[in-house]
Amino acid sequence: MENVQPMISAPVPADRFTAQAVRQGPLTWSQQFFWFDHHWLTFPHRRVLLLRYTWDPPAGTSLAALGAALDALVLRHEALRTRYGVGADGQPVQVVLPPEPVSVITCPTGNSADEAALITRMRERDLDIGGDPPIRVGVLTDSEGYADRVIVMVHHFSVDLGGLDAMVAELEQLSAGAAGFAARPAWQPLDQAAAEQSARGRVRAKRTRLYWENLYSRMPYQTFPDRKRGPFPQRYHLLGLRCDDVEGAVRDVANRYQSSPASVYLAAFGAFLSLVSGQRSCAVTVAASNRITAPSAKAVGCLFQPVMLCLDVDLDRTFADLVARAGAANLTAQLNGAYSYFERKQAEARCAHRRGVSFRSAVDFNYVENKTPRAPSPGEAVPVSGEVYRRPAAFTDDSCDLYLWVYTHPSRTDIMLMGHAAVISAATIEHILVGMRELIMSARDEDTVPLSGLRRLVEAKSYGPGWAFVDNCWIRPDDVRAVLLAHPGVRAAAVVVDDDGLLTAYIHGADGTLGPSTLRQHVIEHLAGGSAVIAPHRYVLCAQAPDDPDDPRAWAAQPVLPAVRGDGPTTAEPSEAAAQALCAAVEKFNPGVEVDSSAVYLLAGGRAGVLTALLVHLHDQGYTGLSPSDLAGPASLGSLAKRLRPVGRG
């Protein structure tokens, strides 16, 4: 993930709470994802993890009644009094503390500026997941001191959107004096964690691991291989289209095609995504609510997990065909939407290394029913149906390329698309939004809608000379060649796509010691430096370079050297102090794993769950400069050690 500061916030040791703890145990699979998200992002980037809900209580609701309702809510739901830390082994844990009164910030009601100021005050301080309650509450009071508007913020780590809806509905009932709630609901996060660690849970984990391995084996390694480099005057463009007529059309189309409304929107998005990216397959992350069973349907907690699907788009076929593909892909993804995020990261590392790529999955689709976007801020116009409008983007890092939200409501539908300036312009986003609506309305009115007609709505991306389609993605062979030439032992090189569709590198080295394994690891360690680079599938070592080393065809006629003896997995004992400290930290938090400078962390058996604790330990030993994403990447420990610097030195 780009723009993440090397030093992360230190997690809290779990034994800090031992005397107070009511219960503690491992993270749920959903919490594993947010553990990564929270620690991989730095403040203020991770403000996006604070969910917000605004509620107007009935007139005459006193602060005392509201406070009592909040305290009752926290008493019933352990997710609202859970802290997150690390055990002695470095694995993250959740710790449920005894209930305590909810702190409420109050502010007299004046105008919309007062509400905005209150929201800013509630968000200005970073959330310490090891020390702070996950819930924050602000109240605007009327002239008589009663609650006029309630603003609830909760960390996504503890509560997802479904849980937030359940929480606020219960808060409304409790504030009105409702009784009869059970002292302890049937679902609590630690119960979920226990179910996931059970024998049945492990069977499911194995099944979903196979899903991810299959997905990573075929998806394009990234959607926009020609991603531009910044800086950009405006990092993200966020535009929306209000459509008061489209939801009825979507439901008509879904009924005709025997699909779901979400799949209709996903198919429309996928068609335009294929056009603007030039990709034949599109990897899209969708939201899995995982709220199917009765106990979890209204649970106050977090069950959400992001799950990817790969949508194959054939622009020579019809929209009906793409809706069917989108529906099947989405259903399969949802069935595999509950999984161990730590194991997913390890599967990603294995598949990336096997294919010789670096994955960037940065396209998201989120279908939200019975919701409307936030109200316009002061000075922003109220959207009119059929008109495209602009909004400021909440994202401040570089982790996203495209993000589509569909908010459906009985009275309106808003399609909102955010795009990074490195991959898309505001004008193209507007064309996509308008085009999605036109495509859906056409599908309502016509039996057959060919996708080929969409080219008149959005300029299709095409990759010209210098590009090649290899392993389901577009690459630049000359960029791969430049990486090979950066190796000190390579004098000349050429990279071509052979008749079998494999990427072949022809190499002339300074001596006879270079081998395919050495060259491949060199390329893999430089994948992050070139967005259009993958590791070649074949390496042909030539005794000499042709007279014209820029002519790939001339290389095939050169004499080939015999196989290099000893080329293969090597060991390199760490000699520098930083490398020794890094290898020692890896072994400390991964019992039974022995590493040297040549090892790649996850491939050597390193656990994804202990990355945060490992780096904090390394900081305590006097070294900083790495992020969890560095250790989860393809670089060897020896290469990573070169990035370490003494604590306190810039």
pLDDT one-digit tens code per residue, 93-116 = 999 999 989 989 998 876 667 888
Query: Residue 21 has what pLDDT?
Result: 63
**Arithmetic mean of pLDDT, 10-26:** 66
Q: How far, in Å, CA of 156 to CA of 52, rounded?
A: 10
pLDDT at 573 over 80: no
Q: Examine the pLDDT at 513 and tell me if it is beyond 90.
A: no
Q: How do residues 128-175 score in pLDDT, each as one tens digit?
A: 888 899 999 999 999 899 999 999 999 999 999 999 999 999 999 998
What is the structure's pLDDT at 295?
Answer: 85
Nearest-angstrom CA–CA distance, 582 and 445? 63
Q: Please report which confidence band the pLDDT of residue 4 belongs to, taking 50, 70 and 90 as the band edges.
A: very low
Model confidence band, residue 648 (pLDDT cutoffs 50, 70, 90): confident
Confidence at residue 1, expressed as pLDDT on a 0 to 100 scale: 27
Task: Look up the CATH superfamily of 198-456.
Answer: Nonribosomal peptide synthetase, condensation domain (3.30.559.30)
Interior/surface letters 300-319, b for 16+ CB within 10 angstroms, e for the rest = bbbbbbbbbbbbbbebeebb
Q: Predicted confidence band at 3 (pLDDT cuts at 50, 70, 90)?
A: very low
Given this model, what pLDDT does residue 96 score?
93
| Cα(139)–Cα(111) distance, integer angstroms | 13
Please give the Cα distance from 78 to 180 (Å, whole number): 19
Q: Is the dihedral of CA 252, 255, 261, 265 positive or negative?
A: negative
| pLDDT score of 8 | 42
Quick check: do 12-189 and 198-456 share a fold? yes
Query: H helices of 497-538, where?
Result: 516-525
Mean pLDDT of the chain: 89
> What Cα–Cα distance (Å) separates residue 609 from each residue in 92, 312, 515, 605?
7, 33, 34, 12
State pLDDT tens for residues 288-329. 999 988 888 999 999 999 999 999 999 999 999 999 999 999
Give DSSP secondary structure letters for 309-328.
EEEE--TTSBHHHHHHHHHH
Q: Average of pLDDT values for 553-559?
A: 91
CATH 3.30.559.10 fits 12-189, yes or no: yes
Model confidence band, residue 9 (pLDDT cutoffs 50, 70, 90): very low
Which pLDDT does position 256 carry in this prediction? 94
Query: What percentage of the chain has pLDDT greater than the value 90?
Result: 68
User: In 3-state terms, what secondary structure has residue 2?
Assistant: coil
Q: Are 107 and 122 in contact (CB under 8 A)?
A: no
Cβ contact 510:490 at 8 Å: yes
Q: Per CATH, the architecture of 468-555 is what?
A: 2-Layer Sandwich (3.30)
What are the structure tokens assigned to 522, written together? 């060199």
pLDDT value of residue 303:
96
The predicted-structure confidence for 159-168, as pLDDT tens digits, reads as follows 999 999 999 9
* Distance, CA of 380 to CA of 378 (rounded, Å): 6
- In the DSSP assignment, the letter for residue 377 is P
Q: Which CATH superfamily is domain 577-646 in?
A: ACP-like (1.10.1200.10)
In the predicted structure, residue 12 carries a pLDDT above the cut 60: no
Region class of 177: left (phi > 0), else alpha (psi between -120 and 50), else beta: left
- CA-nearest of 352, 349, 362 to 398 is 362
Q: What is the pLDDT of residue 409?
A: 83
Asked if pLDDT for residue 267 goes beyond 70, the answer is yes
Query: What number is the average pLDDT over the span 420-449?
Result: 95
Tell me: pLDDT of 529 over 60.
Answer: no
Q: Is residue 367 helix, strand or coil?
A: strand
Mean per-residue pLDDT, 165-193: 86
**Residue 7's pLDDT is what?**
35
The domain ranges of the chain are 12-189, 198-456, 468-555, 577-646
For 411-466, the DSSP string reads: TEEEEEEEEETTT--HHHHHHHHHHHHHHHHHHHH-S--BGGGGGGTSPPP---TT
Give residue 39's pLDDT: 80
How many Å apart are CA 30 and CA 38, to the nearest integer? 13
pLDDT digits (tens, 9 = 90+) for 361-385: 899 999 988 776 766 666 667 788 8
- Distance of CA 577 to CAs 192, 266, 642, Å? 43, 51, 10
